[in-house]
């Protein structure tokens, strides 16, 4: 079982595949090129024809539950406990994602100290060789999740969400500056600076919201439907979280 799936697996499994847009990385030193193929960050599944049971991104977006956001004033990041070490192997959720998404394998030392390695931040097509330069982004930010339905969850479910290693799309290693620029924003207020990332991002966002039954507001749906037009071959395959 891959590092991204051996903890919180009871939350279920979701995979999403993007085709027809993005950038293929063919070696650890390859630079992003014209966005005509498939974006496949390490730990992700992608194939030219999409997954056999995938549905078009347009249909996935149509399945999102439309609702206005709850008041964000009650949001408290501490209500989403992270980063957990669910299997007591000394590697917490952050480390597990870094290990899995490395495009050049990292070395694990005592207490899961990570050295070496190389990562591609698909938000901005930047390659990094220092784990300290990466943040682990919750695809749907904790604050956005709170406003979209997590206000009514138990603390245990919020912890499962914050440490969702059961899906390859829920958490992603990206440059700290892009993660902090994104903050708690939805796609109506923020999209990755690399346009080649937009199809992948639309799939990842939609897949995560469907997985956790999180609502989308009108402005968010408007932007997602515009992205649908730009990503005609994007497909999503999912299984809801338990």
Q: What is the pLDDT of residues 178-199, one digit of tens each?
A: 999 999 999 999 999 999 999 9
- Kindly tell me if the per-residue pLDDT of 31 is higher than 80: no
Q: What is the pLDDT of residue 53?
A: 61
Question: Closest Cα partner for 211 from 4, 13, 2, 51?
Answer: 13
Q: What is the pLDDT of residue 242?
A: 81
> DSSP labels for 187-236?
TTT---SSGGGHHHHHHHHHHHHHHTT--B-HHHHHHHHHHHHH-TT-EE
Predicted confidence band of residue 74 (pLDDT cuts 50, 70, 90): confident
* pTM given for the model: 0.81
CA distances from 209 to 33, 37, 80, 95 (A): 30, 25, 16, 24
Predicted confidence band of residue 54 (pLDDT cuts 50, 70, 90): confident
Q: What is the mean pLDDT of the chain?
A: 82
- Give tens-digit pLDDT for 37-48: 233 343 433 322
Predicted confidence band of residue 86 (pLDDT cuts 50, 70, 90): confident
The CA-based dihedral angle spanning residues 182, 184, 188, 193, taken in that order and rounded to the nearest 10 degrees? 10
């Amino acid at each position: 079982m891959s590092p991204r799936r051996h903890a919180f697996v009871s939350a279920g499994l979701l995979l999403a595949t993007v085709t027809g847009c993005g950038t293929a990385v063919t070696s650890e030193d390859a630079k992003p090129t014209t966005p005509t193929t498939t974006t496949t960050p390490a730990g992700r599944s992608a194939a030219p024809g999409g997954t056999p049971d995938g549905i078009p991104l347009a249909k996935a977006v149509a399945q999102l539950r439309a609702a206005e956001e709850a008041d964000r004033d009650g949001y408290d990041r501490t209500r989403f406990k992270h980063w957990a070490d669910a299997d007591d192997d000394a590697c917490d959720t952050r480390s597990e994602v870094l290990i899995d998404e490395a495009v050049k394998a990292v070395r694990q030392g005592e207490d899961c100290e990570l050295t070496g390695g190389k990562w591609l931040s698909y938000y901005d097509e930047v390659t990094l060789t220092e784990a300290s330069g990466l943040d682990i982004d919750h695809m749907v930010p904790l604050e956005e999740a709170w406003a979209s339905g997590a206000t009514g969850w138990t603390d245990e479910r919020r912890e499962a969400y914050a440490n969702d290693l059961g899906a390859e799309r829920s958490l992603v290693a990206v440059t700290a500056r892009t993660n902090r620029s994104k903050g708690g924003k939805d796609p109506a207020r923020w999209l990755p600076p690399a346009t080649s990332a937009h199809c992948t991002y639309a799939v990842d966002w939609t897949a995560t919201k469907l997985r956790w039954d999180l609502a989308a507001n009108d402005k968010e749906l408007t932007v997602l439907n515009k992205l649908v037009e730009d990503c005609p071959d994007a497909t999503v395959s999912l299984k809801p979280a338990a």
